[in-house]
Structure 1
């Protein structure tokens, strides 16, 4: 299944090596990226990047981005608190807030990558620029070496051990609403399509889910085709400036709003995901409102079709969401508790009740940490009632409740403008084994580096060790521990 992807992936990795060589020849080590935005091209580069046709402009931009000029433009206006973090090297500059492109009052901070810049040389691209429509994406190939031979699960997303994988090939088409201004309505939208192995985790039932649910694949860690396509996001936003200090109404399929981690590669501190994140909700489809009460307080309320289910699917269950986010006046602390999913229905395709909170603390400009904990459970889950075989998940002849608790901490250090060091430690208790397949407590410990070769290419080496305490939960039940060395490349286009 993977052989068909080896050639394009090899070309992509070759592009990364070529770009690194070019960067070294132009003394990139003496250059630093801007902390909150990508440097603008100088006048000569701006005049030359459209020469030679679309494909030539696209390829030339990778070379230009290895040695960008200093950015002399003023920072865009904002009516929010100053950005607490530097991005790069951190994956984002703002404290966590789901459900909006950025906290209300923060300007659009999407970088311009080679595809968008090459398109700007065309009539279509110039029309898109006039209407603030952006297009960009990335490809994420990866490699892992594991002590397990059969499966890396519950490590994610790289569950298949000792192999090269195409994790993600993503394209985004978006318009970001202007929430800095307060005198008129504005609108935005986002369409994001993901192809790759990671679709195993992002898929929602009722949205091309037959790829995963209707194609059994013996020997795979999950059923379904090894590689699939998921139209992960499709939503529209309406910004209403006159409600409190601004409200954004989102309608469509959007990312589940809590969590330190995210589905998309560039939005994460580390390459792999915590067990806590691996088994919680990924997307929801419905209506969500985000309202800024002040610079420090934001509230969110929503109605959706339950977790990872389309409203038109028979498994949909009307559910409520509610969150509040507080940021200290010093901007050094953030607290974000959420009821991520609540209803009175029994379990049906990931219909779990979830209560979660995240705390962030900034020590200084280089160091900060993020801690998340949740309680999650499902009602009347088949196989999880009384009289089951001890330690065997789903062995009861009766339905019952199954619950889990998890906590994870990230400690993040900006070594310089191009290098980020992250350390993640977590504890997870799958009380009846409903989420991971094993009724056991887990711990996992991960250290990883994010290195920016340029604004277009990131490398993420990582080392991870994990342990299960009450059952052999690794390598498909053969051992109680696992160590994995991994590397991925995020190649933006």
Structure 2
């Protein structure tokens, strides 16, 4: 762990020196160019980028790629073709340029917008790199450390993911390899796949029962903010895609383990407007395993139908239950409004591991291309928590009004409900930065989701600043309050204030 942190610090420390060396090398490489008329009108060849100079070694090309990415982008570069309405936002600085749609890498008709990150550039001179480029296979990822200062001493929960207070944390090392199907064209079937492996503290939240879950569930840590090994690994995304252009305006069939569909937020740091997550997001579904279809009916309407094995349970685990999933997304013709109602999961079975019944509605509104907001509301419940079949499940909440911490009675049989609403107001302040304001109310009626039967509110302000296309910095400040029970710092405080900072280095 210390070696990873040291390497990260060295990379930042050497970045200015690398840029200075790059400037010196560019200055030294300037030569006189004879006008083409004097050379029989033979056009001079374009200079080769240092990252594409195959006479250099791999690490030299990698360093050159970071230097080149720090240079201004070409403002006249042509936009890739797309089939549908224009993108409503700019990305960067926003996490995405598209209206929300879960279950697919990009909405149908939207081209692959991934940048070619330094690792891919450095690999381009190798046989493996050539083969990957020829087959449209991409490999990249990021490193994400954070630091926080908190008024709590033992735990920041239900704040996530920075649950351990007053420390530097290694949140995510993410490795991704994928092939994105071309859904802009309509003349042939295409295919793709997506595999993500996550290492870091954030595995505490992403783990699926039956997929490397022993490191979380079978490692009790009574004196830590969360049970489980401090740092763990989760192969959290693994699916294949099939694109069929002749069904309506195009259909994508996705099979495997994929992210839960409806949330504004996502498990991956670069996909979020803020460093921390809402309480609403912290305690709902994370990943599903099953099959889902995404069908573009026209530019305004997209339909999603699927079956999965229950929230956060692998289909081969005893806690899995066959579960229905259905969502529809509507975008106005003006591109200024979006509605995304979604039945994330419904099977009407009793609680096992995280057998949620979840119903979600998201509304997005664009005031201008630089200003938009997103609002999500949901109702979720589990059935008969006190009869849960999984031994890792508690049958009693940590805190209920009128009882000391740890002495509350069992959850009542029947529905144990919770509902919440969260709003994001997002303002682009420059081509490299945006500010996001998040306000939230959450009611955990029986304490089944957070462990405390109380109402919450949270209020967060943060900024994302792109130092370069490969490096994001995100400062944030957050205040939250529990109205009916002291749910913070392990059940001893009603409120919590946290200041945080993280960095996302793409590779």
Q: How does 1:90-489 map to 2 (within 5 A)?
A: 90-382=94-386, 383=395, 390=402, 395-396=409-410, 399-489=413-503
- Contact (CA 8 Å) 1:389, 1:395: kept in 2 or not? no
Shift of the alpha carbon at 1:410?
0.4
- Contact (CA 8 Å) 2:314, 2:320: kept in 1 or not? yes
State how many pairs are aligned. Answer: 473
User: In structure 2, what is the Cα distance between the partners aligned to 1:289 and 1:307?
Assistant: 18
User: In structure 2, what is the Cα distance between the partners aligned to 1:396 and 1:69?
Assistant: 59
SS for the counterpart of 1:266 is helix
User: In structure 2, what is the Cα distance between the partners aligned to 1:425 and 1:114?
Assistant: 36
Please list the CA deviations of residues 432-486 of structure 1 after superposition, one character each: whole Å capped at 9, or x if unmatched: 1111111000000110110111000100010011000001010111110000110
Q: Tell me the equivalent position of 2:12.
A: 16
Structure 2, unmatched stretches of 5+, are 24-44, 387-394
User: In structure 1, what is the Cα distance between the partners aligned to 2:161 and 2:51?
Assistant: 40
- Contact (CA 8 Å) 1:260, 1:370: kept in 2 or not? yes
Shift of the alpha carbon at 1:365?
1.4
SS for the counterpart of 1:444 is strand
User: In structure 1, what is the Cα distance between the partners aligned to 2:143 and 2:380?
Assistant: 33
Shift of the alpha carbon at 1:273?
0.2
User: In structure 1, what is the Cα distance between the partners aligned to 2:214 and 2:503?
Assistant: 29
Shift of the alpha carbon at 1:77?
0.9
Task: Work out whether 1:44 is the aligned partner of 2:37.
Answer: no
CA spacing shift, 1:10–1:377, aligned 2, 3 Å: same
Shift of the alpha carbon at 1:49?
3.6
Shift of the alpha carbon at 1:390?
4.6
- Contact (CA 8 Å) 1:325, 1:335: kept in 2 or not? yes
Shift of the alpha carbon at 1:401?
2.2
- Contact (CA 8 Å) 1:384, 1:432: kept in 2 or not? no
Shift of the alpha carbon at 1:400?
3.6
- Contact (CA 8 Å) 1:20, 1:453: kept in 2 or not? no
| TM-score normalised to structure 2 length | 0.90
Shift of the alpha carbon at 1:48?
5.1
SS for the counterpart of 2:368 is coil
Shift of the alpha carbon at 1:69?
4.5
Structure 1, unmatched stretches of 5+, are 28-41
Q: Tell me the equivalent position of 1:35.
A: none
User: In structure 2, what is the Cα distance between the partners aligned to 1:188 and 1:106?
Assistant: 15
